[in-house]
Amino acid sequence: MTTSNSSFDVNRIRLDFPILKRQINGQPLIYFDNAATSQKPQQVIDAMVDYYQNYNANIHRGVHALSQEATDAYEKARQTLQVHFNVPKSNEVIFTSGTTHAINIVASGYTNFLKASDEILVSAMEHHSNIVPWQMLCERSGAKLLVIPMKTDGTLDMMAYSNLLSSQTKLVFVNHVSNTLGTINPIREIVDSAHQFGASVLVDGAQACSHLKVDVQALDVDFYVASAHKMCGPTGVGMLYGKTALLEKLPPYQGGGEMISEVTFERTTYAELPHKFEAGTPNICGGIAFGAAVDYLNKIGLDQIAKYENDLLEYATSALSEIDGLTIYGNAKRKTAVISFNVANIHPYDVGVILDKMGIAVRTGQHCTQPIMDYFGIPGTVRASFAFYNTYEEIDSFVVAVKKAVLMLT
């Protein structure tokens, strides 16, 4: 089968990804673990090599040519992210080591702003990285953690959410897209409801940014976090967006070089945004490559990517649904190209091992979302997550492989 999107040339795009030429166990690699991390195009790899080969230097503190070149490239990447996410000001873009780091900056910063009578809300479908930091915040502050429940189709119970909101609600945390179920949450509705009670909202965008065009102003989010490695960029770098007034309110997460204005043994004053939250030598190469990855995605077009990936999702969902005993978890009307499933009483790990023998990379287990697994009463799932460089032919091979695995395990 060929794509119905005639202007989208997946075969040309695949040439940009060197790893897709690999073989695994004598079979062509079929990489369906994109929700864990995306593959990197040659353009991003070249940007990383170019930095280390041609202008490797520390940034912001040097007067020599290499330092200035590195600083310019790093700050250009920050501006690229600003434009891509429609951030009002570039100093509202904070470079982090990833989504988890970004969430912890906010969770740590709110410690002294909450009291025992306050409440914070988190959704039932969060990744552990958007649960544990808030539990730790509650332990430090005495605030109470409440859970927005989910429904059997993998969507949030928005009526229950409305009922949980009150004058005691100070913070709301929710993912834009579920890494396990693929559900696209109604962020603007969640934000508008929270703001009516004066609560701030942090959105975990790790799973959304490679599939959707994100506009933080249109969503009116207070904080938005993302990781480069989900967006065809390198590991070890991410982004925290926050509204200026909130970022200025939060104390620094770490102390060290770069985040200071003046230092004496009696007193230290902190630098202005964004440097207040960027202590020490950053992942300079990673930041530059993050910008290159965003440029690459925009060259293809997020709208085109979303359309193609949705076609893949519908095709794969239809084919897998014909397998006897196969159950798909997460059937929201709006979801990204993620399918979590189990077959009869077969353990997902066993299916994953057999698929790997056939050159197919999927993720098995709880996907750092144990509360979702507990909700469905299952030990885990097989998760196939697609990207814009995957093909219908790969899905055909995948479905055949799943059928073979079922035969071998029953």
pLDDT in tens, 46-99: 999 999 999 999 999 789 999 999 999 999 999 999 999 999 999 999 999 999
Convert the pLDDT of each residue in 99-135 to its tens digit.
999 999 999 999 999 999 999 999 999 999 999 999 9
Answer yes or no: do 202 and 102 share one domain: yes
CA-CA distance, 362 to 378, in Å (whole number)? 18
Answer yes or no: do 295 and 320 share one domain: no
Answer yes or no: do 289 and 169 share one domain: yes
Cα dist from 396 to 32, 195, 348, whole Å: 13, 46, 20
Residue 256: pLDDT band (50, 70, 90) is: confident
Domain annotation covers residue 323: yes
For a pLDDT cut of 90, what percent of the chain falls above it? 93
Does pTM top 0.85 for this prediction? Answer: yes
Domain annotation covers residue 4: no
Answer yes or no: do 251 and 356 share one domain: no
Give the residue numbers spanning the domain of 371.
10-37+302-409
CB proximity list for 377: less than 8 A, separation 6 or greater: none
Domain annotation covers residue 3: no
Answer yes or no: do 25 and 81 share one domain: no
In the prediction, which pLDDT does 268 show? Answer: 87
Answer yes or no: do 137 and 158 share one domain: yes
Domain annotation covers residue 170: yes
Which residue, chain included where needed, has tokens 């410690």? Answer: 111
Domain annotation covers residue 83: yes
Ordered alpha helix ranges (H), 113-178? 132-141, 158-164
Answer yes or no: do 263 and 142 share one domain: yes
In the prediction, which pLDDT does 112 show? Answer: 92
Contacts 24+ apart (CB under 8 A), 246-249: 246/200, 246/222, 247/92, 247/94, 247/273, 247/276, 247/277, 248/273, 249/109, 249/113
Domain annotation covers residue 2: no
Q: What type of residue sits at position 404? A: K
Answer yes or no: do 246 and 389 share one domain: no
| Peptide bond before residue 88 is cis, with ω within 30 degrees of 0 | no
Whether 2 shows a pLDDT value over 70: the answer reads no
Left, alpha or beta for 101 (phi > 0: left; psi -120 to 50: alpha)? alpha
Residues annotated as part of the active site: 368
In the prediction, which pLDDT does 269 show? Answer: 86
The answer to whether the beta carbons of residues 210 and 387 sit under 8 Å apart is: yes
- Final residue of a domain: which of 244, 271, 299? 299
Q: Two tokens at 141?
A: 């502050």
Answer yes or no: do 291 and 309 share one domain: no
Task: Compute the mean pLDDT over every residue in the chain, rounded to the nearest whole number.
Answer: 96
Convert the pLDDT of each residue in 327-381 to its tens digit.
999 999 999 999 999 999 999 999 999 999 999 999 999 999 999 999 999 999 9
- Final residue of a domain: which of 255, 276, 299? 299
CATH number, residue 350: 3.90.1150.10
Residue 143: pLDDT band (50, 70, 90) is: very high
- Final residue of a domain: which of 284, 299, 314? 299
Domain count, the chain: 2
3-state helix, strand, coil in the chain (%, to 5): 45, 20, 40
CATH number, residue 254: 3.40.640.10
Answer yes or no: do 328 and 273 share one domain: no
Domain annotation covers residue 155: yes
Residue 3: pLDDT band (50, 70, 90) is: very low
Answer yes or no: do 307 and 281 share one domain: no
Answer yes or no: do 237 and 385 share one domain: no
Whether 8 shows a pLDDT value over 50: the answer reads yes
Domain annotation covers residue 203: yes
